[in-house]
């Protein structure tokens, strides 16, 4: 192996090749039944873990897997079912209200565009991006904490904001792989290049990309 740190174009190729071998077909981390339940799962995942969402969502989705049944369930019952999740009161209000709006304004169908999605309560750009990518197959690059952290460690962005990280990654990587790559990076960040387990010098991919790096990378949290 070349002992020199890789330049950016070399890093891009190495990252893609490495992650393709490790995660050839990355699954969607959040369990869901349909597009509506995917949207709800992503809303629930804000400031929570996918693992926790997957633990509590089956009971909720068994009772309400579409906006009509979710609206009929009512906010108090939604809250009772999701109370173990962080920000449960706010999320229960948002889930109830977005169900109403989807019924009233979108004929019960989850919107397939950013403007309408981001106008829903509790749905920001990242949530909308996940739905657009995983439900509708529209190329997006949702940036979560893992992607923001790894993009800094791999020197693909200055790390000033998740918005800037998203812009930088969209420029660097082919549009055709955005939806797959963002999942691959998330899985790698969870399993190998973790917040505490790697400092840009520890995991196999960081060492491959930067064999001469001798100072840890202190990432800027979003």
Q: Which residues are catalytic?
A: 126, 144
Task: At 105, list the tokens.
Answer: 């304004």
Q: List CB contacts of 219: < 8 A, sequence separation 6 or more.
A: 148, 149, 152, 153, 159, 195
Is 187 exposed, middle or buried (CB count within 10 Å of its CB: 0-12, 13-18, 19+)?
Answer: middle
C-alpha to C-alpha distance for 163 and 125, rounded to whole angstroms: 9
Query: DSSP labels for 31-93?
Result: --SSHHHHHHHHHHHTTS-HHHHHHHHHHHHHH-SSHHHHHHH-HHHHHHHHTTSTTHHHHHH
Rounded distance, CA 30 to CA 57, Å?
9
Neighbours of 62 (CB within 10 A): 10
């Amino acid at each position: 192996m070349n002992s020199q740190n890789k330049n950016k174009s070399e890093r891009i190729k190495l990252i893609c090749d490495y992650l393709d071998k490790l995660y050839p077909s990355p699954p969607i981390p959040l369990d869901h039944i349909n597009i509506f339940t995917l949207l709800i799962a992503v809303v629930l995942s804000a400031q929570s873990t996918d693992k926790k969402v997957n633990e509590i969502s089956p009971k909720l989705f068994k009772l309400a897997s579409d906006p009509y049944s979710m609206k009929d369930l009512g906010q108090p019952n939604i809250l009772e079912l999701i109370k173990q999740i962080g920000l449960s009161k706010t999320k229960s209000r948002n889930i109830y209200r977005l169900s109403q709006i989807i019924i009233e304004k979108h004929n019960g169908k989850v919107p397939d565009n950013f403007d309408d999605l981001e106008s829903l309560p509790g749905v920001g750009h990242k949530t909308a991006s996940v739905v657009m990518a995983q439900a509708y197959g529209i190329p997006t690059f949702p940036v979560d904490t893992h992607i923001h952290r790894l993009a800094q460690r791999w020197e693909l962005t200055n790390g000033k904001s998740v918005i800037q990280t998203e812009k930088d990654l969209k420029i660097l990587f082919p549009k055709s792989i955005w939806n797959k790559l963002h999942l691959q990076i998330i899985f790698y960040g969870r399993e190998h290049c973790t917040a505490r387990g790697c400092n840009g010098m520890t995991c196999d991919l960081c060492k491959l990309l930067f064999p001469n790096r001798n100072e840890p990378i202190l990432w800027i949290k979003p």
